[in-house]
Amino acid sequence: MADRYEPQTFEAKWQARWKAANLFETRQDPGRPKFYGLDFFPYPSGAGLSVGHCRNYIPTDVICRMKFMQGYNVLHPMGFDAFGLPAENEAIKNRTHPGPMIERYAENYRRQMELIGIGYDWSRSFRSSDPEYYQWTQWIFKVLLERGLAYQRMAAVNWDPVEKTVLADEEVIGGLGWRSGVPVEKRSIPQWFFKITDYAQRLIDDLDTVDWPEGIKQMQRNWIGRSEGVQFRMRVAMPHEEKSDEEFEIVERAPHFEVFTTRIDTVYGMTFCVLAPEHPSIETLEGFVDEAHRAEIRAYRENAKRLSDTDRQATTREKTGVFTGAYAINPANGERVPIWIADYVLMHYGTGAIMAVPAHDARDYEFAQKYGIPVQPVIGPAKGVSPETLPFESKDGFLVHSGEYSGLSVAEAQKELGQWFEACDLGTRKVQYKLRDWLISRQRYWGCPIPVIHSADGEIQPVPDEDLPVELPEVEHYEPSGDGSSPLAAIDEWVNITDQDGKLGRRETDTMGGFACSSWYFLRFCDPHNKRKGWDPAEVEYWMPVDCYVGGAEHAVMHLLYARFWTKVLYDAGLVPVQEPFQTLRNQGMVLAPTPFRAPREGETLGVGEEGIQITFEEAHSLPEDQVFHRYEKMSKSKGNVVTPDEIVEKYGADALRLYELFVAPFEQNVQWSNEAIHGQVRFLSRVFKLVDECRSAYDPLWRDAIDTGESSEAGKALRRLTHHTIRRATDDISGFAFNTYVAAMMEFLNGVRDVLKTTPASEIRAEASEMLETFVLLLAPAAPHSADELWDLLGMEGFTYQQDWPELDERWLARETVTIAVQVNGKLRDTLEMPTEADQATLERVALESERVRPHLEGKTLRKVIVVPGKLVNLVVG
């Protein structure tokens, strides 16, 4: 019998036994509640898993294991997000084909997940690149198409010159491609979109129905960006040709335009208005202005077209614009205001035109200052008071210089002006969203083909269900063409087909971005091998929604928003019974690893936010110590700071790794990896083995019969209190994602047991010690399943801990006979008293006043007040 933790001798053995017993195969017993625990769909990188990834999988595994022991039918699947740019790029770099490559990588991921003892039901696994899977991705695409939620249009898109593809807005970070890190360019090509904007309001509203981190919800709300305002028409007016410059007339033939504002209360302060350079009305407007203005407009628009989005949206950039020579009429007061064109107004938001109120908007103010446009304050901090400094952007104010609306608060004025604009048919109150439609087209090979045929007459036909999947053709060369077309377009024998009616047609050659594949995989896990349907409705009805969804916060907007959108579309189509896919969501913190840097040398410059030049570990060793410093960074292959579970399991064992990752910090918090602190877990497990080894001769499997009839000794009682106290803590902590305190509770359990056994050997309290041993092993099982099974076996028990019932709490043992009462004088602790639990207030007060440690602090003072919290403390207030 091992009296210490020797993982090499048993971890592989138990993993093999679990596999042979199909232990984690999904159970669907009637009469049991269900629990669906899911991890984010991983892309299996060639670098394999790091201990950082494990921080996602281990906690979910702990919860799923406890839920199963508590009697739930647990669905805990794993599959691989194999399609998409990362896989294709890695394959190109390795000069191989993405298909077989990703298969190897996925196998390696699975090996590592098994190495750390994660209890997945592998019989349900799939890859998003399996034709049996993407057949149904294509089928869902058609559902969207039929419902008018998928469409193709020419679009200026984010073109990533390195990836040679189009990126979704969400994949452009600060004007740079999210993977390539280079500035994206504008290009105009036909693109497929999903109309997620139709669902904007529901995507906001239903966040209230799910248990997600508040920060993630807020990020989604911000991304969708709802704002309420008024949209109204500006009529164009030109100087009267035969009269003086001061007289104007409305030109009905001119292109009147609409503006959107959230600050209708400031409408009297409008001193100009601005059109985006791409605004379609400008072309007509040019016909009404003189030659000089026309030339300026054209020059400005040409220039704007050439600017990249990054340059245009750089916040440090000074605003630019041109006066058109035309004017518009402010409908609120009939005053004329000049019409400008400026690229700080964006065509894709609102109407692409704004009313500019420089007194109350920082951007308009900056522009007005630069071009000498008047500024008219209309909101002040108090009634009848003008603001002292401009711009005055606060909404906590009152209107001035606003006709009959002067004196109203901002809130009142927004309401009344909105009503007035609507009553006079000047405009309408409107809700705007920042969210834009989801660009799904990728001009790349390694993705799910869009199941559409373009017939010769230009019609778009979905591929019939019976012809799905549209399989990716096997090809030698799949590298992106670089001309904006998919490499699939070059495969004539695949592209050119005859449709059902015998007409010639061309297949759509774009593929879907990877986020499409991960927007429904959680449904497929409910019924992964269905050949006739994407899923059996009964299976999805049974398992959905996901009860516990765990992954990194970096998918806060993209994946989670898309998956919610698809679920809602499928709900509307009557295909799934839930409107939200993920009931509870939690984000694990990252594992950061020390990464070497050195100071820049002559001629080297640091980028924004950089503190040094990142170097390899080899280089760090070759440099003098004072030239190298370390920073904790996210683990990544490119930084060379990856710690793999393989090396940790090899050295310390899987259970020590699992415990360490659970214990090291709160679940949601980032942690700094250290190879040293893990020793504590090895030590803990060794002491557990030692305890079981010492006590097992006293172990009686029939302890239940003896324990409630027999009289307990003091030591026996202490042991039982400890046991049941820990059942409560472990159960609550695991349920509440407090894995660090769960492990701490187990350590305290061990320490407490050892204290009891110092005075009373286990053989004298056999029943209580047996209950303790069994409970200890079972409570430990979710976190350290290999050790738990080994210990279970050493106790002479049959089967796996996973199959045992979770220990049952007996609340009677939570009650204590005595409690420690804190005695304070003026809030400062002066003594602690061991008192019977049921001691009443008067008793506590009396004993507190008698305390020898307390009395010196009362001398010469008057007792003014006594606070007694039974079971807790006595506070004597003196003065």
Partner RNA sequence: GCCCGGGUGGUGGAAUGGUAGACACAGCGGACUUAAAAUCCGCUGGCCGCAAGGCCGUGUGGGUUCGAGUCCCACCCUGGGCACCA
Enumerate residues 136-175 that contact RNA by CB under 7 A.
Answer: 173-174
**Is 670 near RNA (CB under 7 A)?**
yes
CB atoms within 10 A of CB 289: 18
Q: Which one of 12, 92, 613, 744 is in contact with RNA (CB under 7 A)?
A: 744
CA–CA distance, 627 with 396 (Å, rounded to integer): 53
**DSSP secondary structure string for all residues of 134-187:** HHHHHHHHHHHHHTT-EEEEEEEEEEETTTTEEE-GGGEETTEETTT-SB-EEE
Residues 268-307 close enough to bind RNA by CB under 7 A: 276
Nearer to RNA, 44 or 391 (CB): 391
Q: Which residue matches tokens 């799923």?
A: 64
Q: Does 219 contact RNA by CB under 7 A?
A: yes
What residues from 832 to 861 belong to the interface with RNA (CB under 7 A)?
832, 853, 857
The stretch among 254-262, 322-330, 420-428, 576-584 that binds RNA (CB under 7 A) is: 254-262
Backbone φ and ψ of 193, nearest 5°: -130, 150
Binders of RNA among residues 5 to 64 (CB under 7 A) are none
Q: Which of 108, 125, 152, 227 binds RNA (CB under 7 A)?
A: 227
Candidates 75-83, 217-225, 466-474, 531-539: pick the segment binding RNA (CB under 7 A). Answer: 217-225
Question: What φ, ψ does residue 447 adopt, rounded to 5°?
Answer: -160, 175
DSSP 411: H
For position 760 contacting RNA by CB under 7 A, the verdict is no
Please tell me the distance from the alpha carbon of residue 792 to that of residue 800, in angstroms, as a whole number: 8
The correct pick among 17, 506, 867, 870 for binding RNA (CB under 7 A) is: 867
By C-alpha distance, which of 232, 235, 231 is closest to 327? 235
Judged by CB under 7 A, how many residues of this single chain contact RNA?
Answer: 88
Report yes or no: 263 and 361 within 8 Å, Cβ to Cβ. Answer: yes
Q: Is 733 left (phi over 0), alpha (psi -120 to 50) or beta?
A: alpha
**Biggest distance spanned by C-alpha atoms of the chain:** 115
Binding flag, residue 875, RNA (CB under 7 A) = yes
At its nearest, how many Å lie between RNA and the CB of residue 373? 15
The pattern of x and - marking residues 556 through 585 that bind RNA according to CB under 7 A reads xx----------------------------
Binding letters toward RNA, positions 627-666, x by CB under 7 A: ------------------------------------xxxx
List 683, 696, 717, 728, residue binding RNA (CB under 7 A): 683
The residue (of 221 and 621) whose beta carbon lies closer to RNA is 221
- The verdict on 476 binding RNA (CB under 7 A) reads no
Could you say whether residue 201 binds RNA (CB under 7 A)?
no
Does residue 542 interact with RNA by CB under 7 A? no
Nearer to RNA, 289 or 671 (CB): 671
| Burial group, residue 498, by CB count within 10 angstroms (0-12, 13-18, 19+) | exposed
In angstroms, give the least distance from the CB of 759 to RNA: 13
Question: Binding to RNA by residue 828, rule CB under 7 A?
Answer: yes
Strand order in the sheet with 460-462: 460-462, 452-455, 504-507, 496-498
Stretch that binds RNA, among 471-479, 708-716, 803-811, 869-877 (CB under 7 A): 869-877
| Whether the bond into 469 is cis, omega within 30 of 0 | yes
Nearest 5°: phi and psi at 412? Answer: -65, -45
Q: How far is CA 550 from CA 117, 670, 730, 780, in A?
A: 17, 15, 20, 22
Question: Judged by CB, which is closer to RNA: 214, or 711?
Answer: 214
Q: Identify the residue among 424, 815, 829, 863 touching RNA (CB under 7 A).
A: 829
Task: Output the CA–CA distances (angstroms, integers) from residue 82 to 171, 210, 297, 319, in the order listed.
Answer: 18, 28, 49, 44
Nearer to RNA, 419 or 832 (CB): 832
Contacts of 560 (CB under 8 A, 6+ apart): 216, 220, 582, 585
Per-position b or e across 326-350, b if 16+ CB within 10 A of its CB: bbbbbbbeeebbbbbbbbbbebebb
CB of residue 353 to RNA, shortest distance in Å: 7
Is residue 223 close enough to count as binding RNA by CB under 7 A? yes
Q: How far is the CB of 258 from RNA (least distance, A)?
A: 11
- Min dist. Cβ of residue 673 to RNA (A): 10
